[in-house]
Amino acid sequence: MVTCVHCHGPLPARRSRGPAPSYCSARCRQTAYLARRREHADLALVGIELPPTTIPALRPADTDSQVAQAILDGRGVAGAFVRLGREARIEFAWRCGKVGEAMLDAMDRYFPEVR
């Protein structure tokens, strides 16, 4: 069963044309939009600025999927650090390499079932 990405309620019947609906109502779509904006503002408060065109991806409904997605995202970041360990100037290279290796090691140790 396909559910609303915000409230996880049932979606209305699909129209004959156009993309499949993601939200069960305009209210859910608006609430999800406001939640994304609030999250973006919270990141700005702690000094993390996202480009204005970046919209956070829609989250999977269950927490197991969210954990798996976070680990996959973390592996991507760790891979970027490992790559920078080979390419960055010497003052940053060793630190980037160590951070990337430590991230991958921690994910392998604590989440061996997610690869």
Do residue 89 and residue 113 come from a single domain? yes
Mean pLDDT, residues 58-79 taken together: 79
Do 104 and 78 share a structural domain? yes
Residue 97 to residue 88: CA distance in whole angstroms: 10
The answer to whether residues 40 and 86 belong to one domain is: no
Share of residues in the chain with pLDDT > 90 (%):
11
Cα gap 82→115, rounded to integer Å:
17
Answer whether residue 56 shows pLDDT above 60: no
User: Does this model's pTM top 0.75?
Assistant: no
Per the structure, how many domains does the chain have?
2
Residue with more model confidence, 56 or 70: 70
For residue 71, the tally of other CB atoms under 10 A from its CB is 16
Give the domain range for residue 23. 1-56
47 and 73 both lie in a single domain = no
Q: Which of 20-24, 75-79, 103-107 has the lowest mean pLDDT?
A: 20-24
Q: Is the pLDDT of residue 89 over 80?
A: yes
Sign (positive or negative) of CA dihedral 71, 74, 79, 82: negative
Whether residue 64 sits in one domain with residue 84: yes
Residue 100 has pLDDT above 70, yes or no: yes
One domain for residues 29 and 69:
no
Q: Clarify whether residues 45 and 70 are in a common domain.
A: no
